[in-house]
Amino acid sequence: MTSNTTLVANTNQKGQLVIPKEIRDKLNIDETVNLLIKLIGKSITISPISAYITQADSEDSYLDILHKTKGSWKNDTTPDKEALELAASQKRSAAW
């Protein structure tokens, strides 16, 4: 299977869709993998993701994450860290 594989699939009466095995195998999707489903115009994209924060997570969870990562760049000697962070953020935004 190439990276530009196109397959046709049907939904059942409930609108459920089975991702073809060929694609699941290529993307290592199994019952443990979370999927990001996005509606973009009249298209749906489905992407495997490794981690996410749910709406059920409280504000305290976000604060815990910020406290755990606080100062993670403190001892880094990489020149122009701000430009690197901005470029990485823009790259992630473009991918979404």
Residues 45 and 2 in one domain: yes
Q: How many Cβ atoms from other residues are within 10 Å of residue 47's Cβ?
A: 13
pLDDT at 2: 53
Residues 46 and 61 in one domain: no
Residues 63 and 46 in one domain: no
Residues 62 and 27 in one domain: no
pLDDT top residue among 62 and 23: 23
CATH of the domain at 27: 2.10.260
Residues 28 and 66 in one domain: no
pLDDT at 11: 93
pLDDT at 57: 61
Number of domains in the chain: 2
Lowest average pLDDT, out of 4-8, 36-40, 73-77, goes to 73-77
What per-residue string of b and e applies to 50-89 under the rule 16 or more CB within 10 Å gives b? eeeeeeeeeeeeeeeeeeeeeeeeeeeeeeeeeeeeeeee
Residues 36 and 63 in one domain: no
- Residue 49 corresponds to which tokens in the numbers above? 């993701």
Domain of residue 71, residue span: 57-96
Q: How far apart are CA 96 and CA 94, in angstroms?
A: 5
